[in-house]
């Protein structure tokens, strides 16, 4: 690409058309066009012909050094930012993108340089960049994928899978072993102290070996096996062989991990059976947390799998197109809560908070259930038990209301980590039609906000930080108003 950029720039500086350069270098126009677009890297003798035609030294032409306005483009190519951007998934050709950028003004080159610096900063690290791109990709598609649903239906028919919950572990294991020649090892990972936090690793050989963490629950093992089936059945090549969010850096790895997870969850929580169960749940006259716990247990699914499946189907089946999904982690002995997964669909609020270093509103149910499961752990009886909560909330500034369900659990691989998953629906007329118990008086009601730093709710007993960000913004507004008066 860099060679192509240099050839194009030098040709334009010398006011040569492609036809003229072709004539001077004795190379075809189509071949030169492919070189300029970064699709071909010519042999040494042809580079020499181009250098002579452009009246430039051979070494200068093949050097990676670029002119001032193209330097940010080289940095962009050299960085891994392009791997994090889903250009091809949005129909944008990478070579054309680079070519357009190369023709841009100095101002746009400066903007590119700024984006690169931002992407290298703490607030927009590689992981956050890719994950934000994936979140937006899911939101554009309504968090529902017809093609994956169809593939799951075809898989179930092809292998005659019994969809009655809970799905038998041996059913998927046998398909993975017989159809895809997998071997599963649940002992090897424990030999490495450094790998005890990983859920699984695939050794991809003629006979693939899937090393599973022996401490995983049956639901977690079933989920991973379902993902491996998805990678093979859907013929997904670009993937991570490590079942851990720590090793998902590029957008393609993240997207394909999501597709595999979607596929696996859709098998375990079969759509037809699941819809019937959720209809029964939504039609209850009163809120009953035990009903939800029993429903999750019926499928032998993790709370995250259950809520993700519900989120996937909410808009398509029940017309609930406004919701958010959040996953929070916290560590034993700390009061810090980290947002590790997020989907927002058709809502203007950001219940996860906008800044990494700000404090998520402690009034939300996500935090409450985490505190309760940690208290339960301190009593020595948390294990895999769930702590369930529900909240009717209203945003302080906008008065938008939500009904949120949240479930917290202790991590099976690290007892010092606690996780909550929350699915919050925007309270509108459609939700009131679908969710019969939305106005049950036992459901707690709270006024909430984004983060403590952006909140001016007075006398908030849950506050853990002063509204410093809001004060800074307000100070600026006051100055602007005073200037207008002056």
Domain-ending residue, one of 237, 268, 299:
268
State yes or no: pLDDT of 419 exceeds 80. Answer: yes
Tell me if 81 is assigned to some domain: no
* Per-residue confidence (pLDDT) for residue 108, from 0 to 100: 65
On whether both 245 and 336 belong to a single domain, the answer is: no
CB 240 within 8 A of CB 247: yes
For residues 414 and 277, membership in a common domain is answered with yes
CA gap 169, 223 in Å, rounded: 9
Domain boundary among 211, 244, 268: 268
Give the CB-side neighbour count of residue 375, counting CA atoms within 13 A: 7
Residue 480 has pLDDT above 90, yes or no: yes
Q: Which of 293, 301, 299 is nearest to 261 (CA)?
A: 301
The answer as to whether 182 is a domain residue is yes
Q: Report the b/e string of 265-283 with b at 16+ CB within 10 A.
A: bbbbbbbeebeeebeebbe
Considering the domain architecture, whether residues 385 and 347 belong to the same structural domain is answered as yes
Tell whether pTM > 0.85: no
Are the C-beta atoms of 329 and 419 separated by less than 8 Å? yes
Q: What tokens appear for 455 in the block?
A: 């909140």
Q: What is the pLDDT of residue 27?
A: 92
Instruction: Name the 3-class secondary structure at 30.
Output: helix
* 191 and 148 assigned to the same domain: yes
pLDDT at 99: 66
Q: Which two tokens stand for residue 76?
A: 């962009």
Q: Please tell me what DSSP assigns to residue 20.
A: H
Count of structural domains within the chain: 2
431 DSSP assignment? H
Is residue 482 one of the residues assigned to a domain? no
pLDDT score of 355 more than 90: no
For residues 255 and 278, state if they share a domain.
no
Whole-number pLDDT of residue 129: 65
What pLDDT is recorded for position 120? 60
382 plus 364 within the same structural domain: yes
pLDDT on residue 358: 79
If asked whether residues 304 and 232 sit together in one domain, one would say no
Mean pLDDT of 190-217: 91
32 within some domain: no
Q: What is the largest CA-CA distance in the chain?
A: 84
Report the distance separating Cα 274 and Cα 313, nearest Å: 10
Distant-in-sequence, close-in-space partners of 76: CB < 8 Å, separation ≥ 6? 82, 98, 101, 112, 116
Q: Is 127 within the bounds of a domain?
A: no
The percent of residues in the chain predicted with pLDDT above 90, rounded, is: 52
Q: What is the mean pLDDT of residues 200-223?
A: 93
Which H or E run contains 447? strand 445-448
- Structural tokens at position 234: 């859907």
What band does 438 get if pLDDT is binned at 50, 70 and 90? very high
Read off the tokens for 89.
């998934």
Kindly report, residue by residue over 230-263, the tens digit of the pLDDT: 999 999 998 989 998 666 667 788 889 999 999 9
pLDDT for 185 beyond 70: yes
**CB proximity list for 255: less than 8 A, separation 6 or greater:** 86, 89, 134, 137
Domain boundary among 224, 243, 268: 268
Residue 39 has pLDDT above 90, yes or no: no
Same-domain pairing of 257 and 357: no
Q: By residue range, what is the domain housing residue 346? A: 272-475
């Amino acid at each position: 690409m860099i060679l192509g950029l240099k050839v194009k720039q030098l040709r334009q500086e010398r006011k040569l058309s492609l036809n003229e350069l072709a004539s001077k270098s004795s190379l075809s126009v189509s071949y030169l066009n492919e070189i300029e677009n970064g699709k071909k890297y010519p042999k040494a003798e042809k580079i020499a012909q181009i250098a002579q035609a452009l009246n430039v030294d051979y070494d200068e032409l093949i050097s990676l050094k670029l002119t001032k306005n193209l330097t940010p483009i080289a940095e962009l190519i050299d960085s891994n930012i392009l791997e994090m951007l889903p250009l091809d998934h949005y129909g944008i050709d990478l070579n054309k993108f680079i070519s357009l950028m190369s023709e841009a003004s100095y101002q746009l080159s400066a903007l590119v340089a700024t984006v690169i610096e931002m992407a290298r900063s703490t607030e927009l690290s590689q992981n956050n960049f890719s994950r934000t791109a994936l979140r937006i990709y899911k939101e554009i598609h309504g968090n529902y994928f017809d093609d994956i649903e169809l593939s799951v239906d075809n898989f179930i028919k092809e292998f005659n899978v019994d969809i009655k919950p809970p799905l038998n572990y041996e059913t998927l294991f046998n398909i993975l072993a017989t159809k895809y020649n997998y071997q599963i090892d649940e002992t090897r990972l424990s030999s490495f102290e450094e790998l005890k936090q990983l859920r699984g690793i695939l050794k991809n050989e003629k006979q693939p070996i899937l090393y599973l963490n022996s401490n995983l629950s049956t639901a977690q093992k079933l989920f991973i096996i379902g993902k491996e089936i998805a990678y093979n059945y859907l013929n997904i090549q670009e993937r991570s062989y490590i079942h851990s969010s720590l090793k998902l850096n590029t957008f393609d790895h993240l997207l394909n991990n999501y597709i595999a997870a979607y596929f696996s969850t859709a098998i375990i929580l079969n759509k037809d059976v699941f819809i019937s169960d959720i209809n029964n749940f939504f039609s209850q006259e009163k809120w009953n947390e035990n009903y939800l716990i029993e429903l999750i247990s019926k499928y032998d699914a993790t709370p995250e799998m259950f809520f993700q499946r519900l989120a996937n189907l909410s808009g398509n089946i029940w017309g609930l197109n406004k919701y958010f999904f959040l996953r929070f982690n916290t560590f034993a002995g700390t009061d810090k809560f980290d947002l590790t997964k997020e989907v927002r669909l058709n809502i203007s609020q950001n219940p996860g908070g906008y800044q990494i270093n700000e404090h998520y509103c402690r009034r939300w149910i996500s935090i409450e259930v985490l505190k309760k499961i940690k208290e339960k752990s301190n009593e020595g009886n948390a294990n895999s038990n769930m702590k369930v909560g529900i909240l009717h909330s209203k945003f302080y500034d906008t008065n938008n209301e939500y009904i949120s369900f949240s479930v917290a659990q202790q991590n099976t691989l690290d007892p010092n980590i606690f996780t909550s998953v929350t699915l919050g629906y925007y309270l509108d007329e459609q939700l009131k039609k679908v969710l019969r118990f939305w106005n049950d008086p036992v459901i707690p009601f709270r006024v909430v906000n984004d983060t403590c730093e952006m909140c001016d709710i007075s006398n908030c007993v849950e506050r853990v930080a002063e509204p410093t960000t809001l004060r800074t913004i307000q100070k600026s507004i006051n100055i602007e108003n005073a200037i207008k008066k002056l």
